[in-house]
Every structure is written in structure tokens, then in C-alpha cells.
């Protein structure tokens, strides 16, 4: 007996839920131009958000790559004997935050130098007989921002003639990157909030036009939940439909961009995130933002009219 009653009420809830979803879809059609306006607002802002996100995430990626390239060249005292050199290697490894320490002999260093010079390098081959370069420890920090601190410590160790990491440039690079990231973050947050504001405002207008309808629904005994659900579904749909075009733009645009960039491979510096999975992840983010602001906008707007 109790079982069938629970079963009945469950069936009722399910039926009511399908009713709400159906009504949400119907409202999209019933509200014609208002629907178009809301979707247009969602579309415009999401295209902006998508393009900006793609730009910011790529810049961030590039900054990371540049930072990872930062290394400390530790020139070892030319008079140091092999024991001191080995000892120095151990001491460096013991410093906190060291990712790797690689020994490179002066011969290897000269070879690198000659190779990097290309044709001009030939003239340096003279020095192979009497190598003027030092043996070197090449150090990378786990966290590139610690480079300066580590370099200072290494400089004080026995057997170190000089440390070399492009002090000024590195310092400026890190500071620039830090600012760039913060500004980017602020801009994205600002943009998302603007989007939320714009879209929820548009949706609010469409709901305002229906405040009379909401009043009538309350008169015939509809509970707030009953009135709210179709609006919730409608908002979700507006957000999802509004994100279709932005996703298309992101996928198409990014595919094009990737082809252009990979066609100019000589600038290894410009190395964008690969289309797969980045463009798909970005699409998912856009869809999520669209769905979120659609539902949020409609639920927030309707709240006002339900208070009587």
C-alpha cells in the first residue's frame, strides 16, 4: 500500500519534471524575439570570452616555456682540481629547489659555441688547441622564479668563479610575466562578470515582460518551484544555444590559427597550445559558462517576481 503510494508520487514527480522541461522548450519558441535577443547577447559575450581565454592561456603557456629555459651557468674556477669540482657538484645538488645539475666540460662548451655560431664558428676552432673556456655546471631551478636566490647561494661556494644567468633580463622577465598573468586574470574575471551582467539583464527583461504571467500562475495556485522550473530549463537552453556559435568560432578559428602558426615554424618562440585537446577544452569551458550564466540569469531574475 505504502509502496504503491510512493510509486505513484514518484511517477507524479517525474511527470511534473518532464512537464517543466517541455514547457521550458515551448517557452523558447513562444517568446520569439526575446529568445533571439537573449541568445544574441550570450553569443556575443561568449565569443569575446572564448577569444580572450584562448589568447591568455596561450600567452601563459609561452611565458612558462620561456621561464623554463632560464638556467644558471656556473663557471668553475679554472684552477680547481677534479676533487673540488665533484665536491662542488654535490654541494649544488644539496641546495633547496634544484631541479637538475649537469656538468659540461670546457671542450663541450666550446663545441656548443662553435655550433651556435654557424659558419662564423670556424674561426673559433683555433681555440680547440688551447681552450680558454671554463668547465661549467648548468643548473635549472625547480621553480624558475627561484633562479636568482639559487644563483646567489651557488656564487658563494668554493671553486666557483662566476655565475651567469642573465641577471637583469631574467629579473625583468619574471616581473613582466607576473604582471601579465595578473592583468590577464583580472581581465578575464572582468569579462566574465560583464557577460553575466549583460546576459542576466537581457534575460531579466524577457522575464519582466512576463511578470504578469507569473502573477496569474500564482493566482491559480502554482507553487514557486512549479513556476521556477520551466524558467530554469529555459535559461539553461538559452545559455547552451547561445554557446553553439562561439564554440564554432573557437574551433574554426583555432584550427586556422594553428595552421598559420605551424606554417611559420622558424619562430620556435611562437608555439601555441595544440588544437587537440586545447580547443575542445576551451569549447567545454564556453559551454559551461553559457549554461551557468543562462540558468543563473533566469533564476536570479525570477526570484524578484516570486516574492509576493
User: What are the residues binding another protein (CB under 8 A)?
Assistant: 12, 15-16, 19, 30-31, 213, 215-224, 226
Least distance (Å) between residue 206 CB and another protein:
12
For residues 140 and 218, which CB has a smaller minimum distance to another protein in the complex? 218
For residues 18 and 123, which CB has a smaller minimum distance to another protein in the complex? 18
Q: State the number of CA atoms in the 13 A half-sphere of 57 facing the CB.
A: 16
Least distance (Å) between residue 35 CB and another protein:
12
- CB atoms under 10 Å from CB of 120, counted, come to 9
Which residues contact residue 281 at a Cβ distance below 8 angstroms, ignoring those fewer than 6 apart? Answer: none
For residues 231 and 278, which CB has a smaller minimum distance to another protein in the complex? 231
For residues 254 and 305, which CB has a smaller minimum distance to another protein in the complex? 305
For residues 162 and 213, which CB has a smaller minimum distance to another protein in the complex? 213
Least distance (Å) between residue 205 CB and another protein:
16
Least distance (Å) between residue 201 CB and another protein:
22
Least distance (Å) between residue 26 CB and another protein:
9
Pairing verdict, β 98-104 and 136-141: antiparallel
For residues 26 and 65, which CB has a smaller minimum distance to another protein in the complex? 26
Least distance (Å) between residue 5 CB and another protein:
14
Containing 100, the helix (H) or strand (E) segment is strand 98-104
Containing 301, the helix (H) or strand (E) segment is helix 275-306
Rounded alpha-carbon distances, angstroms, from residue 252 to 138, 161, 173, 283, 288? 43, 54, 33, 11, 19
Report d(CA 53, CA 50) in Å as an integer: 5
Instruction: Sheet with 98-104: list strands edge to edge.
Output: 98-104, 136-141, 72-76, 160-164
Which residues contact residue 42 at a Cβ distance below 8 angstroms, ignoring those fewer than 6 apart? Answer: 199, 238, 239, 241, 242, 243, 290, 293, 294
Amino acid at each position: 500500500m505504502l509502496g504503491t503510494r510512493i510509486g505513484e508520487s514518484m511517477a507524479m514527480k517525474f511527470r511534473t519534471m518532464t512537464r517543466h522541461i517541455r514547457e521550458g522548450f515551448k517557452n523558447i519558441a513562444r517568446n520569439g524575439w526575446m529568445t533571439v535577443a537573449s541568445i544574441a547577447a550570450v553569443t556575443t559575450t561568449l565569443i569575446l570570452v572564448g577569444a580572450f581565454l584562448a589568447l591568455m592561456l596561450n600567452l601563459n603557456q609561452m611565458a612558462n616555456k620561456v621561464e623554463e629555459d632560464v638556467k644558471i651557468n656556473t663557471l668553475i674556477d679554472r684552477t680547481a682540481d677534479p676533487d673540488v669540482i665533484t665536491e662542488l657538484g654535490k654541494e649544488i645538488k644539496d641546495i633547496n629547489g634544484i631541479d637538475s645539475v649537469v656538468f659540461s666540460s670546457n671542450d663541450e662548451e666550446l663545441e656548443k659555441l662553435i655550433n651556435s655560431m654557424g659558419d662564423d664558428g670556424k674561426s673559433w676552432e683555433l681555440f680547440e688547441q688551447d681552450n680558454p673556456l671554463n668547465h661549467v655546471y648548468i643548473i635549472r631551478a625547480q621553480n624558475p622564479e627561484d633562479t636568482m636566490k639559487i644563483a646567489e647561494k651557488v656564487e658563494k661556494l668554493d671553486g666557483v668563479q662566476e655565475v651567469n644567468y642573465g641577471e637583469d633580463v631574467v629579473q625583468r622577465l619574471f616581473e613582466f610575466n607576473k604582471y601579465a598573468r595578473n592583468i590577464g586574470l583580472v581581465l578575464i574575471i572582468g569579462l566574465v562578470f560583464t557577460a553575466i551582467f549583460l546576459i542576466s539583464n537581457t534575460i531579466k527583461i524577457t522575464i519582466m515582460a512576463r511578470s504578469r504571467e507569473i502573477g496569474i500562475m500564482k493566482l491559480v495556485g502554482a507553487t514557486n518551484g512549479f513556476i521556477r522550473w520551466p524558467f530554469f530549463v529555459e535559461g539553461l537552453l538559452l545559455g547552451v544555444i547561445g554557446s553553439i556559435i562561439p564554440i564554432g568560432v573557437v574551433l574554426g578559428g583555432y584550427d586556422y590559427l594553428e595552421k598559420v602558426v605551424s606554417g611559420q615554424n622558424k619562430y620556435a618562440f611562437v608555439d601555441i597550445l595544440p588544437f587537440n585537446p586545447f580547443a575542445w577544452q576551451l569549447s567545454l569551458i564556453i559551454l559551461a559558462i553559457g549554461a551557468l550564466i543562462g540558468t543563473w540569469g533566469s533564476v536570479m531574475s525570477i526570484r524578484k517576481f516570486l516574492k509576493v
